[in-house]
Amino acid sequence: MKSLSVLVVTCGLMLTAWAENSSENTLRNRYWLDDVTLTGGLYQGDSKKPIEVEKGKKVVTTDGCAFEGTHFKGFRDGKWDASDSFFRNSRVEMELSGRFTATNCAFENVELNKTGGWFVDHWSTRWKFENCVFAGKFSPSAMGVTDYAFHASHCTFNDIDLPAIRYKKDPAEEAQSNNLNFTACRFYRCTVPESFLATTTDCVFEECRFPGKREAWEKATKPILVTAYIVGRAAPPQSYENGNLKVTFKGAPTPESGATVKYSYTDRHLALSKVPTRGVWTAIGIIDNKPTGNETPAPAKSSPVTVTPAPPRPEMSPDTQAATAELVKSYRNSLVFVTGANGAGSGFLAKYATGSFLFTNAHVAAGVRGAAFKTLDGTEVKVGAASSAVGHDVFLMQATSNGLPFEIMKDVDQNAAIGDEIVVLGNAEGAGVINTITGKIVGLGPQLVEVDAPFQPGNSGSPIVHLKTGKVIGLATYAIIRKYDPSTKQPIKDPVIRRFGYRLDSIKTWQPVNWQAFFAQAVEMEAIEKLTKDLAAFLDDLASEKGLHLGAHNNPAIKNRIDAWLEARSKKLSPRDASMADQGLISFLKVACQSDVTAARQHITYDYFQRDLADQQRERDEISGVFNEIIQNLRK
């Protein structure tokens, strides 16, 4: 039996072998260098850390694969062929010339995205679906023909806000073409923008919503004809013509349409008959086998990450300077400093629903307890009932504005565009000084807006203002940092920083906040996050040449047991007693790795903390797996 006297060495060797030598654990790597085929099985990933597939490589999934919480990213010229597979709560990204093909598959809350800076004039990525079923979401809120070629035949879409299509040159050549068409598909309880409706041929719409005429079709060089078959209790909408687009709604007869693959759809959840989702899930993409260009989120509730500053930005144009100055002048009494004993952040007052509210991030509200809220002139803002947004890092409180409250933009993806100028108005570094940080929109997603304005820690909760309209499109929230070149996998001199804010127009549900319960859950999550870091630090020390030292690990949850073990191991023990002591410690740590997370799941009620807890659970599962490997190694 192996003792921990040699475990400091064997642990490091074991992890190296685990990552490189085992064919099973090839799938646990986060960087897939070769073609990969996955057959019948349950696979669970990390939705925040992508599995990156090398340029030009192919992934095949077939024979009953199920994926939960996975994030796949294919580099240029990558290919993915999926059949008889099920994807849930996952994300698939393809770079230029990437191709994703699926047959007889189901997709629940899956995002399919073109990524990377390279593109061509039309159809940079290609997505093809035959006899598939979708629910919840499947694409960005808008799809441009530069980025996406999308073909779906005999597919069914359930409860989806379908994307608006951004045409480029001639819609008559782009809509309903071989590169952009939805043929003989069925749509159930979907929202169908006019630009999307123009891509359909012989499709059925049941209990769907049609927002109406919004697009100008003057660029179309010939008529675009759409026949939409309506089923359900409601009468068909009235047919109409809009420029060169002609839409005819018919009630019956109903043509055969939609997916014939055997599936069920209950309470907004899909099940594919030939793909089981019960059993033991295999973790994939959990080992950083080499630098991959993964993006590392900057911590939202701790000290700022130190990175090399970005190159100097060009000077603002006189028009931008004037617009920014006017915004500060108009809304100076609606910009709010959030300060507390343990941190600082930003906020702003805005009109929302039927009143005026103070907006900030949920992580600011959770991290700055006992906060004071003051405007630029030092006036205290009195706050009332609070709510936290479901699925967003957004928090609001009833408040009375003494100045002009901001207006919030509705339908951001329709009223703002990539390249539009924005300004972030916030409390830089928590110093109590308003900074005007200008930039442009560089990305729009269903919940997020990406900007290149270089906001900093302390700006969290600041309004991201669309300069052209003067309306708020989101809250500055977090940055992610790319430390490696994605093509060479080598460290880059100046890390690439991307900055994101949460959109306000996409919030569907709010949770009323009881401050005492909210802060109690914040404290509990901080303790869980700290123990995660401390357990990881213990493993790092265990595998290092320096080893472990008495008093080096001071987390109250594990300190006494580690110190007692170190003291016992300092004495002369028989090989058997030493091994038993080693196994006892690792078994204790394995239990400690899960007990606080398991307990928290019983009473964590706020969505913001529940999502944080799910992230912690994934990290703990990874750590627990390492502890289990050590125990098995000791028992040999």
pLDDT tens-digit readout, 582-607: 899 999 999 999 999 999 999 999 99
Split at pLDDT 50, 70, 90, the class of 291 is very low
At 382, which CATH number? 2.40.10.120
- CA quadruple 67, 65, 74, 21: dihedral sign: positive
> Which pLDDT score is estimated for 492?
61
In a domain, 359, yes or no: yes
Instruction: Answer whether residue 32 is part of any domain.
Output: no
Contact 72, 91 (CB under 8 A): yes
Half-sphere exposure of 306 toward its Cβ, with a 13 Å CA cutoff?
Answer: 0
Same domain, 507 and 611: no
Residues 469 and 547 in one domain: no
* pLDDT for the residue numbered 300: 36
Domain end (from 467, 490, 512): 512
To which residue do tokens 């050549």 refer?
173
The answer to whether 394 and 388 have CB atoms below 8 angstroms apart is yes
Do 508 and 565 sit in the same domain of this protein?
A: no
Residue-wise pLDDT tens digits, 187-229: 999 999 999 999 999 999 998 999 877 777 888 999 999 999 9
In a domain, 416, yes or no: yes
Cβ contact 316:324 at 8 Å: yes
Q: How confident is the model at residue 543 (pLDDT cuts 50, 70, 90)?
A: confident
Could you tell me if 500 and 537 lie in one domain? no
C-beta neighbour count of 58 within 10 angstroms: 16
341 and 427 fall within a common domain: yes
Tokens coding 334? 């609606």
Rounded CA separation 119/102 (Å): 23
- Residue by residue, DSSP assigns 482-504 as EEE-TTT--EEEEEEEEEEEEES
| Residue 35, pLDDT above cutoff 50 | yes
Which residues span the domain enclosing 427?
Answer: 296-512
- Residue 19: band (very low, low, confident or very high) from pLDDT cuts 50, 70, 90: very low
pLDDT digits 0-9 by tens, 462-510:
899 999 999 999 998 877 766 555 555 566 666 677 888 999 999 999 9
Point out the domain boundary residue: 488, 512, 536. 512
CB 156 within 8 A of CB 186: yes
Q: According to the model, what pLDDT value does residue 544 have? A: 67
Q: How far apart (Å, rounded) are the C-alpha atoms in residues 470 and 603?
A: 41
Q: Residue 294 pLDDT > 90, yes or no?
A: no
Q: How confident is the model at residue 554 (pLDDT cuts 50, 70, 90)?
A: confident
Indicate whether 501 and 525 sit together in one domain. Answer: no
Looking at residue 597, what is its pLDDT? 94
pLDDT band for 1, please (50, 70, 90 cuts).
very low
- pLDDT tens string 101-134: 999 999 999 999 998 877 788 899 999 999 999 9
Q: Do residues 430 and 568 both lie within one domain?
A: no
- In-domain check, residue 254: no
Q: Report H helices in 185-287.
A: 194-197
Overall domain count for the chain: 2
Kindly indicate the confidence band of residue 547, based on its pLDDT and cuts at 50, 70 and 90.
low
Q: Does 63 have pLDDT greater than 80?
A: yes
Question: Is residue 499 domain-shared with residue 552, that is, in the same domain?
Answer: no
CA–chain centroid gap for 578, Å, is 45
User: Are 381 and 398 contained in the same domain?
Assistant: yes
pLDDT class of 54 with cuts at 50, 70, 90: confident
Are residue 432 and residue 336 in the same domain, yes or no? yes
On whether residue 434 sits in a domain, the answer given is yes
Percent of the chain with pLDDT over 90: 42
Are residues 553 and 597 in contact, defined by beta-carbon separation less than 8 angstroms? no
Q: How far apart are CA 620 and CA 221, in angstroms?
A: 58
Per-residue pLDDT, 135: 96
| 356 domain-assigned | yes
Which of 81-95, 334-348, 413-427 is the least confident region? 334-348
Q: Are residues 353 and 473 in the same domain?
A: yes
pLDDT of 118 reads 76
pLDDT range class, residue 286, cuts 50, 70, 90:
confident
CA distance 501 to 478: 7
Taking CA 582 as the corner, what is the angle to CA 580 and CA 587, rounded to the nearest 5 degrees?
Answer: 95
User: How does pLDDT run across 168-191, given as a tens digit for each residue?
Assistant: 889 999 999 999 999 999 999 999
Q: Which of 337-351, 553-567, 613-627 has the lowest mean pLDDT?
A: 337-351
Taking the model in full, what pTM does it have? 0.51
Among residues 481, 512, 543, the one where a domain terminates is: 512
pLDDT band at 9 (very low <50, low <70, confident <90, very high): very low
pLDDT of residue 312: 41
Average pLDDT, the chain: 82
Residue 341 gets which letter from DSSP? T
8 A C-beta contact, residue 54 and residue 33? yes
Whether residue 39 is contained in a domain is answered as no
Is residue 589 assigned to a domain?
A: yes
Is residue 526 domain-shared with residue 388, that is, in the same domain? no
pLDDT computed for residue 299 by the predictor: 35
Q: Choose the weakest-confidence range: 114-123, 255-264, 286-295, 408-417.
A: 286-295
How far is the C-alpha of 190 from the C-alpha of 162, rounded, in Å? Answer: 7
